[in-house]
Amino acid sequence: MDERASYNPRQTIYKTHMAVAKDAVNSGIIALIKVGADTGKMAITELSMQGCSSLTKLPLTKSQPVILHLLQEKANGKYGAYQPISAVVQSATRDKTNIYQVTLSFKGAIAANQGVAQILEKKQGAIARDKQGHAHSALGMIETSLEVTHPSLYVIPMRCHLCDQEHIPFISLQSRTMESKMNIFGVPQYRNALPGKEFCDYNLLRITVCPKCFFASGETSDFIREKEKSATEPFSKEVIVEHWLNSIAERQTLIGTNSIGFFSENRSVEQALISYDLAVLSSNALLTIQEQKHERTRNYEVARKGVASMLIKAELLMSNKKPKEAQLILKNALKRLLEIFPFLTKESSIKAAFLMGMLGLYFENGKIAGENLNFLRQYEQNNRIRFNSEEQKTLNTSRKMLEDAYQNRADFSFRALKGFDKPY
C-alpha cells in the first residue's frame, strides 16, 4: 500500500450526517476521492466489485470522472491508501447539510491491489471452497488453482492478453487418453477412456476463462504463456478498455452464483455452457477490434473461432438431450458464417465453406449446401495455393467430406440423424 496517504479520518469525517455515515466510518470503509485538482474524503455505504454508494462533502455531478483511493486502517491507528480506482459518477444528490450522496461506477476490472476485494472479504468473511479445497471468494474475486487432480489432464499457466491477469490455469487433455469421434461438423465427441486411463469429457473444460475480466477461449494462442517474457499485443489498450474491460459486469452476471468449480476440472455441464457463451462474447469483442483496423490488416479468423465455440456448445446440448436448444445454436452459427464468409481467406474460408455446406445438408437447404460445395470444387482455380501446404490439405479433406455427404444428403438431414453423429 502507498504510505503517502497517511492520516486519521475519524477526527474529521462528517459529524453532521446520518447514522449510516457513522456506521461506514466505524466499519473502516473510508476513501479519498479526487476530482481534477480537488481532493476530499468519502464514506462508503455500499461497495461491490462494480461500484459503490458513498457520502462526501466534495461537490460532484453526474458523468464526472473521478479517482478513488480506498483506505485501510493500519496498526498505528493511521490509514494507508490502496492503488487508485478510476470511476464515473452515476448519480449525485445534495441534502440539507450539504452532504452529497453519490453513486460511482468503477471503470474496467478491479485489481487485487485496489482494496475492493480485501474490504469486502473483511466485511462478509467466509471463503467458499470446492470439493478439492480450492478457495473461492464469495464476492467474485475467484482464486484459481494451477493444479488438477484428474490424471488425464494437465495445466499450462497463462496470462490474459486483455487485463494482464496472471496464473490462469489452461486445462489441457493428455494425448492418448480418450477415445473420441468427430461429429458431422468436425466437433469431437468424447465417448470412453483408452485402456488404463480415466474418462473425462474434455468439451466441458475446453474453454479457459480469465477469472478477472472473463475473456474466454479454447486456444493457447489467445493467451500468453507465463514463461514468455514478452509478447506482441494483438490490439490497442484504448480499444480494450472501451470494448471489454468496461463490460465486465455483463459477463460476470452470466456466471452468477456458479463460480465454485467453474475455474477447475470440476466444471459442470451448466458451467461449461456458460463458458462457451463467454467464448462467443470474447470472439465478438475481438472482431470489433479487428473491424477498427485498416481493411488490409483485419483478421476475421477470430469470428470463425466464435462459430467453432457455438458448434461445440451445440454438441454439448445435444449430448445432454436438449435438441431444440442445440439446433437453435446451429441456426445462429450458420447465420454468423454467412455474415463473415465474404471477409475470410485461405484456410478460414475453406473451413467456413465446409461448415456451411454441412449445416445446409443438416437443415435440408440444398442451395446453401450446393453453393459451398461448388466453392470448394473451384477453390484451386480461383486461388494460388502451394503444393502440399496446410491450405491444400485442408481443402482436400473438406472437399471430399462435403462431396461424400452431399451424395448421401438424405442421411445427413436432421430428420435422419441421431444427434450429430455421423450416419456411418
- Using a pLDDT cut of 70, give the percent of the chain over it: 81
Task: For residue 391, give its domain range.
Answer: 345-424
Query: HEC profile for 106-123?
Result: ECCCCCHHHCHHHHHHHH
Give yes or no: residues 69 and 172 share one domain: no
Give yes or no: residues 89 and 154 share one domain: no
Do the domain assignments include residue 3?
no
Tens of pLDDT, residues 87-104: 999 999 988 888 899 999
State the pLDDT at residue 140.
41
Give yes or no: residues 390 and 354 share one domain: yes
Q: Which of 344, 370, 386 is the last residue of a domain?
A: 344
Give yes or no: residues 200 and 82 share one domain: no
Give yes or no: residues 336 and 365 share one domain: no
Tens of pLDDT, residues 203-222: 999 999 998 889 999 999 88
Mean pLDDT throughout 406-412? 95
Tens of pLDDT, residues 148-186: 888 899 999 998 888 888 889 999 999 999 999 999 999
What does the alpha-carbon distance between residue 281 and residue 266 come to, in Å, rounded to a whole number? Answer: 23
- Cβ atoms within 10 Å of 4's Cβ, excluding its own: 8
Tens of pLDDT, residues 45-63: 888 878 888 888 899 999 9
Q: Which of 344, 375, 397 is the last residue of a domain?
A: 344
- Cβ atoms within 10 Å of 363's Cβ, excluding its own: 15
Do the domain assignments include residue 241?
yes
Do the domain assignments include residue 65?
yes
State the pLDDT at residue 330.
97
Do the domain assignments include residue 134?
no
State the pLDDT at residue 81.
79
Give yes or no: residues 336 and 350 share one domain: no
Q: Contacts from 281-289 at CB under 8 Å and sequence distance 24+?
A: 281/216, 281/250, 281/251, 282/215, 282/216, 282/217, 282/222, 282/306, 283/217, 283/309, 285/243, 285/244, 286/234, 286/235, 288/239, 288/243, 289/235, 289/236, 289/239, 289/240, 289/243
Tens of pLDDT, residues 220-244: 988 988 877 555 555 666 677 777 8
Give yes or no: residues 225 and 323 share one domain: yes
Top pLDDT among 368 and 304 is at: 368
Total of domains in the chain: 3
Cell of 163: 487485463
Give yes or no: residues 185 and 303 share one domain: yes
Do the domain assignments include residue 1?
no
Do the domain assignments include residue 136?
no
Give yes or no: residues 393 and 416 share one domain: yes
Dihedral in degrees, nearest 10, Cα atoms 209, 165, 71, 52: -30
Give yes or no: residues 151 and 276 share one domain: yes
Among residues 27, 44, 38, 45, the alpha carbon closest in space to that of 66 is found at 38
315-343 core/surface letters (b: 16 or more CB in 10 A; e: else):
bbbbbeebeeebbebbeebbebbeebbeb
Give yes or no: residues 281 and 322 share one domain: yes
| Single-letter residue type at 406 | Y
Tens of pLDDT, residues 97-156: 888 999 998 887 676 677 787 777 666 543 333 333 333 333 344 556 677 888 899 999
State the pLDDT at residue 26.
46
Backbone angles phi, psi at 349, to 5 degrees: -70, -35
Do the domain assignments include residue 372?
yes
Q: Which of 311, 329, 344 is the last residue of a domain?
A: 344
Burial class (CB in 10 A: 0-12, 13-18, 19+), 391: buried
Does the structure show a pLDDT above 50 at 4?
Answer: no
- Using a pLDDT cut of 90, give the percent of the chain over it: 46
Give yes or no: residues 255 and 340 share one domain: yes
Do the domain assignments include residue 126?
no
Cell of 261: 468449480
